Amino acid sequence: MRWYHHWWAIVILGLGALLALFLALFVFYTIGYWRQIKNGEGLKLRQTFYGNFDRSIKTPLAAAKPGRAELEGGGLFLGNPNAKISIVEFVDFKCPNSKMAAPIMRQMMAQYGYKVKLTVRLFPSESIHPGANKFAIVAACAAEQGRFWEAHDALFSNQDAFSKELAGEDYKFLADTAYLDAQKLKECVDSGRTGVKVNRDYADGFRFGVQGTPTFFINSEKVEGVVPMSEWEKVLAK
């Protein structure tokens, strides 16, 4: 009897075939993911794995309380950079609650900006608010022109007026409203280069236990949802 007629040989050959198939699939998908990352498609990858995050995660991730520098993450800020009070806000430009919070935060900073550092980070929940990724990328591109806060206000103020994927007329309107160069804005968005910043903010928010927007960290203490001006005054008027 030849060796490959034995039962143990058949088992070994079968296991070998399964292992070869597994390795082939592993290499195939690894190369595919690497190409997506290389081509700036990290947002698509992120949504593949975490697209239903806001719907599926019910409790914060168990983790040590993050420090100030970690929370701020070198993000865009308003106010006093050396303030003792650090507020980090995770926002979604398509979220109605983030929109509701935006004018309150502007009012708060106008009144208490000298004693507060407000850092805004991007947390677009594409599965809940379609088009949120594109809005976040646009805001990050506006930052390249030094107009993040103008774009921040324009995107929230006109949240319902813009098309889901931001068409040509939307860019023109946004450029006029936020004092942006429309051509440079479109070129930046099409390049996808600010997707790295959006991905990093989202990943950090996920790590810090952000479940929805807006979420605030006041000197590392997490507060979820829209905070009325009266509550900010209680904290900041001391």
SS3 content of the chain, % helix, strand, coil (to 5): 60, 10, 30
Q: Which pair of structure tokens corresponds to residue 11?
A: 């088992």
Cis ω for the linkage preceding 214 (within 30 of 0):
yes
Q: What is the DSSP letter of 161?
A: T
Greater model confidence, 9 or 14: 14
Q: Which long-range contacts (CB under 8 A, 24 or more apart) does 171-176 make?
A: 174/138
**Residue 212 confidence class, pLDDT cut points 50, 70, 90:** very high
Helix ranges, 39-131 (H): 42-50, 53-56, 68-72, 96-112
Q: What is the DSSP letter of 220?
A: T
Length of the chain: 238
CA 154, chain centre distance (Å): 18
Q: Which CATH number fits the domain 57-236, given the four candidates 3.30.460.80, 3.40.50.720, 1.20.1050.10, 3.40.30.10?
A: 3.40.30.10
Measure Cα distances from 92 to 20, 28, 99 in Å.
Answer: 44, 34, 8
Q: How far apart are CA 22 and CA 17, in angstroms?
A: 9
> Considering the entire predicted model, what is its pTM?
0.73
**Residue 42 confidence class, pLDDT cut points 50, 70, 90:** very low
Contacts of 177 (CB under 8 A, 6+ apart): 150, 154, 158
Q: How far apart are CA 9 and CA 96, in angstroms?
A: 64
What's the first-to-final CA gap in the chain, in angstroms?
Answer: 91
Stretch 26-47: mean pLDDT: 49
Give residue limits of the domains in the chain. Answer: 3-39, 57-236
Stretch 30-38: mean pLDDT: 49
Task: Categorise residue 66: left if φ over 0, alpha if ψ from -120 to 50, beta otherwise.
Answer: beta
Give residue-wise pLDDT tens across range 53-100. 343 344 445 457 899 999 999 889 999 999 999 999 999 999 999 999
pLDDT surpasses 50 at 227? yes
Measure Cα distances from 126 to 50, 86, 130, 136, 206 in Å.
Answer: 10, 28, 5, 10, 14
Q: Which pair of structure tokens corresponds to residue 198?
A: 């959006």
